[in-house]
Amino acid sequence: MNHETITSPTDFLSEMLPDVPNEKQLRDYQAWWQQTGLPISEAVDRAGTPWLRMFDRQGTPIDEICFAPEYWSMLYAGYEAGVVWRAFAEDSLIPALLFDYIAAFYDIGVVCPYTVSLATALPLAKYGDAALKENFLPHLLCEDESVWQGATWMTEIKGGSDLGANVETVARRDGDRWLLTGDKYFASNAGAELAVVAARLDGAPDGVRGLGLFLLPRLREDGTLNYHIRRLKDKIATRSVPTGEVELRNSEAYLLGEGQGGIYLIMEVLNISRVANSIGAVALAQRAISEAYTFAHERVAFGKPIIEHPLMRQQFAQRAGDLQRAFALAWEALLLLDEVRHETAPYSDRFHLCRLMIHLAKYWTAEVAVQTAKWAMEVNGGMGVLAEYHVERLLREAMIIDIWEGPPHRQILDALEVIERKQAHKLLLDHLAPHVDESDTLAMTARIETHLKLDSDDKEAQAQGLIDTIAEFTARILLRRATPQVKHSIR
């Protein structure tokens, strides 16, 4: 990879993909970030947590999240570019997530509102009735500052991994709508005009079978607030997305789907977010390499730029390979999700393959982002830990995206579950078979089958090594298949 490829997200996409949809618009969006967005993003990060104006002067609750005016111009630039509406106008997730990639290179935090807005619009379009779609969907697809934002609120105080045990928000039927009562503890994009919310149907059985997915507007039919923001979270990074605690008190909502199998709808929402997270993680890793690359060309030690030293040169080559493999894995997850996203339960084998690929991508790309950001700090030395430069922020944000939408151990266990229950490893190896030597396929099959014969405790305890092996193997094969012309080094 040359200088332009590693320092430009659009050039990197052009090298990795045979054809980049909307390339001119992507380059225009990148130019906007370079000229206008970057200073805003840096100011938002330095300013820290936005503040919450809870009441107006008359004491009426308003729950207004207060950023500087420039923040909103940065946020709306992505919506106008097409991070949501393009998925519908072009009937594909791919164009929308390419714009996410550009935004994530500069500010991974702002991609969270884009992701959860898309993850609100898609289940509404798929599972909402005609009246619900007519009333709400057009607002999410606007191409200007009138656009409504979405949010996905699942997690409560006990955590987000075990939804069957930890979702205590209750939904009670009220005519053609439902009333939700409960608290959401990590509510990203607090203040959104619409949210999809996990809640337990009143009288439903315990566990995941009693859950439903609901569409919840910010305002009641009478125009008053439908939910309240208790407080905003003071996070170490991703300050360009407001995260808060949300109170639901007889909040008006609408059930998506038939009310049976709501957990499947919830998991479909998570699939969208996890793929977007994977794409964003790769973009952050590229930005980290870019920051290291620029510094290494400028810093002179022992008579020459440090990038010319053999060890440093070797490390850059290694990171370039990690980046390309991570992109190949994230991109395959996106392609598969785009293929199966219209399916409903019971799902096809192709869907189960997609699910395994998503777990592998979410796990592996987030780890690549964290390790690459840490290494970029090391390349920058003392400058890398100073808040006045961008490099330390990348590590702060990488640690958050590692946890968003399920931390590494959750992805490992979920990947193991779909391997055991759906034999998804066989689907994966069949998917890769045209590009793998038969001996390698047999060896990987034996590795997995041996693991599955372990007793339950050992099977879980040793799962990380297995998923590491499968993820690295898959990423390597996908990169070889997709980009045989790419040179895995940095010049």
- Per residue in 339-351, pLDDT tens? 999 999 999 999 9
Q: What is the pLDDT of residue 484?
A: 56
3-state secondary structure 371-424: HHHHHHHHHHHHHHHCCCCCHHHHHHHHHHHHHCCCCHHHHHHHHHHHHHHHCH
In the chain, where are the structural domains located? 3-140, 152-259, 263-482
The average pLDDT across 422-437 equals 97
The average pLDDT across 370-383 equals 97
Q: What is the pLDDT of residue 295?
A: 95
Q: What is the pLDDT of residue 489?
A: 45
Q: What is the pLDDT of residue 483?
A: 67
242: preceding bond cis by omega (within 30 degrees): no
Confidence of residue 459 (pLDDT cuts 50, 70, 90): very high
User: What are the angstrom distances between the C-alpha of 20 and each of 27, 93, 114, 393?
Assistant: 11, 13, 20, 29
CATH of domain 3-140: 1.10.540
Tokens at 313, concatenated: 């040169």
Beta strands at 152-153 and 170-174: parallel, antiparallel or unpaired: unpaired
Q: What is the pLDDT of residue 164?
A: 84
Q: What is the pLDDT of residue 10?
A: 98
Q: What is the pLDDT of residue 358?
A: 98
- Per residue in 419-429, pLDDT tens? 999 999 999 99
The average pLDDT across 85-94 equals 98
Residue 88 reports pLDDT greater than 50: yes
Q: What percentage of the chain reaches a pLDDT higher than 70? A: 98
- What homologous superfamily does CATH list for 263-482? Butyryl-CoA Dehydrogenase, subunit A, domain 3 (1.20.140.10)
Q: Spell out the residues 6+ positions from residue 446 whose beta carbon is closer than 8 angstroms to its own.
A: none
CA angle 32, 120, 221 (to 5 degrees): 110
- Per residue in 213-263, pLDDT tens? 999 999 999 999 999 999 999 999 999 999 999 999 999 999 999 777 899
CA angle 193, 194, 198 (to 5 degrees): 145
Residue 488 reports pLDDT greater than 50: no
- Per residue in 278-337, pLDDT tens? 999 999 999 999 999 999 999 999 999 999 999 999 999 999 999 999 999 999 999 999
Tokens at 479, concatenated: 């990169």
Per-residue DSSP letter, 67: -
User: What are 58-63's contacts with CB under 8 Å, separation 24+?
Assistant: 61/224, 61/225, 61/228, 62/225, 63/191, 63/225, 63/228, 63/229
The count of other CB atoms within 10 Å of the CB of residue 27 is 17
Average pLDDT, the chain: 95
Q: What is the pLDDT of residue 122?
A: 98
- Per residue in 439-456, pLDDT tens? 999 999 999 999 999 999
Its pTM stands at 0.96
Confidence of residue 487 (pLDDT cuts 50, 70, 90): very low
Q: Spell out the residues 6+ positions from residue 102 whose beta carbon is closer than 8 angstroms to its own.
A: 9, 10, 26, 29, 30, 33, 283
Fold of 152-259: Butyryl-CoA Dehydrogenase, subunit A; domain 2 (2.40.110)
Amino acid identity, residue 334?
A: L
